[in-house]
């Protein structure tokens, strides 16, 4: 019996929370180009989020709207609706950083045009015959989102605990954007996996789409960091290398290489459930003190 149990996902029920989108807004006027002072590499490695997430999270929403009619569980449906609301807001908030980068001489358009193509065309709705082929492609994308959300939760948990960013004087507005988003990623970290298990749950598909998503994330991330470093108008011969990444991980300004590697077998374990990782309590505590989230709450209450 213990064998069977070990092969099933083990959710931690106390980590579940009802989700709500917070209508945040940020003012970027006083955020410097290198918002982590004296560290363009870390700044730009984290800035890749602003390149990937607007199109990526819009794509999540697009795919999930197609899955909603397939959900046969009321609580999961509520979770997915809450997830859609949060991701739509994340996409918009990161998109609003891009004009600020442009004003500072760093135009991300050549890179974001490729990312938009990837999510809208390559991963978009293909012209497939109705029935099995269309269903197959939808399930592939649902599984891919589950794998990506393993990493957004990982990063969310990391940034909530990345005290080195505070110690090094990171711009408070950027830090709040990252932590508000990170906290909501932790809050909703089980939704994509639960949805995948509900509508499909095939282990082979989980493993296969993890490999695709992980490879794509590493590829896109290192390209994005290199793009920013090479086009940063204040840098002469700016470069980004894996050695820089490893060094920043050891310094505590980025996740460590070891933590990232250790996260792989956890997702691939048959007993994995996202609620085993990160802390909803910590996420909720951050959101209760986040300047952007509390201002959004006050506006929502004022309007009610």
Q: Where do contacts with Fe ion occur on this chain (CB under 5 A)?
A: 87, 90, 152, 185
CB neighbourhood size of 133 (10 A): 11
The helices-and-strands tally (H runs, E runs) of the chain is: 14, 0
C-alpha distances out from residue 57 to 16, 72, 145, Å: 22, 24, 10
Q: Is the CB of 63 or the CB of 240 nearer to Fe ion?
A: 63
C-alpha distances out from residue 257 to 185, 218, 278, Å: 21, 12, 18
Q: Min. distance of Cβ 39 from Fe ion in angstroms?
A: 24
Q: Min. distance of Cβ 122 from Fe ion in angstroms?
A: 20
Q: Is the CB of 79 or the CB of 185 nearer to Fe ion?
A: 185
Q: Is the CB of 171 or the CB of 185 nearer to Fe ion?
A: 185
Q: How far is CA 204 from the centre of its chain?
A: 23
Q: Which two tokens stand for residue 113?
A: 């045009």
Residue number with the smallest Cβ distance to Fe ion: 90
Q: Is the CB of 185 or the CB of 277 nearer to Fe ion?
A: 185
Q: Min. distance of Cβ 91 from Fe ion in angstroms?
A: 7
Q: Min. distance of Cβ 90 from Fe ion in angstroms?
A: 4
Measure the CA angle with vertex 242, ends 240 and 247; round to 5°: 95
Measure the CA angle with vertex 236, ends 232 and 237; round to 5°: 90
CB neighbourhood size of 241 (10 A): 13
Q: Is the CB of 185 or the CB of 232 nearer to Fe ion?
A: 185
Q: Min. distance of Cβ 12 from Fe ion in angstroms?
A: 18
């Amino acid at each position: 019996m213990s064998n069977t149990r070990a092969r099933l996902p083990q959710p931690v029920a106390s980590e579940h929370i009802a989700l709500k989108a917070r209508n945040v807004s940020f003012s970027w006027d006083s955020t410097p180009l290198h918002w982590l002072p004296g560290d363009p590499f870390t700044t730009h490695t984290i800035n890749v989020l602003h390149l990937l997430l607007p199109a990526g999270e819009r794509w999540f929403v697009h795919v999930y709207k197609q899955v909603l009619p397939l959900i046969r569980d009321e609580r999961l449906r509520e979770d997915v609706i809450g997830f859609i609301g949060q991701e739509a807001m994340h996409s918009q908030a990161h998109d609003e950083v891009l004009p600020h980068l442009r004003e500072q001489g760093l135009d991300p358009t050549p890179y974001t045009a490729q990312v938009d193509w990837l999510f809208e065309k390559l991963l978009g709705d293909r012209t497939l015959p109705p029935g099995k082929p269309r269903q197959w492609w939808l399930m592939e994308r649902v599984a891919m989102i589950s794998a990506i959300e393993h990493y957004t939760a990982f990063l969310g948990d990391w940034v909530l605990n990345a005290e080195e960013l505070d110690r090094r004087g990171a711009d408070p507005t950027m830090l709040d954007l990252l932590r508000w988003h990170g906290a909501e990623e932790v809050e909703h970290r089980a939704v994509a996996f639960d949805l995948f298990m509900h509508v499909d749950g095939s282990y082979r598909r989980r493993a296969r789409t993890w490999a695709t998503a992980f490879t794509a994330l590493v590829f896109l991330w290192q390209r994005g960091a290199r793009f920013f470093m090479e086009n940063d108008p204040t840098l002469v011969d700016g470069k980004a290398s894996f050695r820089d990444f490893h060094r920043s991980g050891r310094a505590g300004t980025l996740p460590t290489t070891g933590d990232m590697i250790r996260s792989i077998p956890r997702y691939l374990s048959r007993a994995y459930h996202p609620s085993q990782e990160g802390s909803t309590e910590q996420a909720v505590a951050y959101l209760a003190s986040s300047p952007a989230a509390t201002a959004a709450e006050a506006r929502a209450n004022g309007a009610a």
